[in-house]
C-alpha cells in the first residue's frame, strides 16, 4: 500500500501534520524517542503535557509541537514487555489504534510512528512490527482521509524487519 512509508531517520526532523511519541505514563518526558522529542520541541511541550495528567497504557493524547517542524504530537504509551502474558500485544495494538483515531479526529492527514515499545520497553521487534503494520493497514483501508503513515525505523534491526514485512 503506497500510503505506508518507511523512513530511517530521527522522527524530530520530519515535517508532517503529526508525529507520534512513544511516551511513558507520566507524559513528562523520558529517554529514547520521548527525550529526543522533548529536547527538540522545547519547554512549551512539557508545560502542555503537565496539564494532561498522564496517560494510561494503550491510550493517546495530543499536544502542539512547539519547536518541532511537525504541527502536532500524539503521545501514546506502549506496554512494557513482561513475558507476553500481560496483554502486551493487545495494549500495543491499542496504542496504534488510539493514535490513528486521534489523528483522524484532529484532521491530520500525514503522520509518523516510531517503533513503539521496542526500545527500553523491550517488546520483541518482529512481533511489534507485525502488530503495527496490521493496525495501520486496516485503519488506512477504512479511512481514505488519512493520506500517509510513515514508520520511522531508527535502528538497523527494525529497518530490516519493516523492509521485509512491507516488501
The site for ligand ADP (CB under 6 A) is made up of 10-12, 22, 32-34, 36, 78, 114-121, 152, 154-155, 158
Q: Which is nearer to ligand ADP, 12 or 98 (CB)?
A: 12
Q: Which is nearer to ligand ADP, 90 or 155 (CB)?
A: 155
In the bound complex, what is the minimum distance in angstroms from residue 163's beta carbon to ligand ADP? 15
Distance (Å, whole) CA 76 – CA 24:
8
In the bound complex, what is the minimum distance in angstroms from residue 44's beta carbon to ligand ADP? 19
Q: Point out the catalytic residue in the list 2, 10, 34, 94.
A: 34
Residue 155 annotated among the catalytic residues of the structure: no
The angle formed by the CA atoms of residues 151, 120 and 149, to the nearest 5 degrees, is 10
If you search the block for the grid coordinates 518482529, which residue do you land on? 126
Q: Which is nearer to ligand ADP, 72 or 142 (CB)?
A: 72
DSSP letter assigned to residue 52: T
- Find, among 64, 24, 70, the residue nearest to 44 by Cα: 64
3-state SS class at 5: strand
In the bound complex, what is the minimum distance in angstroms from residue 37's beta carbon to ligand ADP? 7
Backbone angles phi, psi at 56, to 5 degrees: -75, 155
- Identify the burial level of 7 via C-beta atoms within 10 angstroms of its C-beta, where 0-12 means exposed, 13-18 middle and 19 or more buried: middle
- Find, among 135, 156, 165, 152, the residue nearest to 16 by Cα: 152
In the bound complex, what is the minimum distance in angstroms from residue 5's beta carbon to ligand ADP? 14
Q: Which is nearer to ligand ADP, 35 or 64 (CB)?
A: 35
Residues acting as catalytic residues: 34
Amino acid at each position: 500500500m503506497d500510503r505506508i512509508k518507511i523512513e530511517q531517520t530521527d522522527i524530530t526532523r520530519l515535517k508532517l501534520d503529526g508525529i507520534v511519541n512513544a511516551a511513558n505514563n507520566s507524559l513528562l518526558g523520558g529517554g529514547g524517542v520521548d527525550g529526543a522529542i522533548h529536547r527538540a520541541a522545547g519547554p512549551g511541550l512539557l508545560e502542555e503535557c503537565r496539564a494532561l495528567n498522564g496517560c494510561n497504557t494503550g491510550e493517546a493524547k495530543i499536544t502542539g509541537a512547539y519547536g518541532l517542524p511537525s504541527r502536532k504530537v500524539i503521545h501514546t504509551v506502549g506496554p512494557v514487555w513482561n513475558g507476553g502474558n500481560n496483554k502486551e500485544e493487545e495494549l500495543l495494538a491499542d496504542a496504534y489504534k488510539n493514535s490513528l483515531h486521534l489523528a483522524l479526529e484532529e484532521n491530520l492527514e500525514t503522520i509518523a510512528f516510531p517503533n513503539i515499545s521496542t526500545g527500553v520497553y523491550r517488546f520483541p521487534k518482529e512481533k511489534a512490527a507485525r502488530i503495527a503494520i496490521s493496525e495501520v493497514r486496516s485503519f488506512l483501508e477504512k479511512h481514505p482521509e488519512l493520506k500517509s503513515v510513515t514508520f520511522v525505523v531508527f535502528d538497523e534491526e527494525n529497518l530490516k524487519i519493516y523492509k521485509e514485512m512491507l516488501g
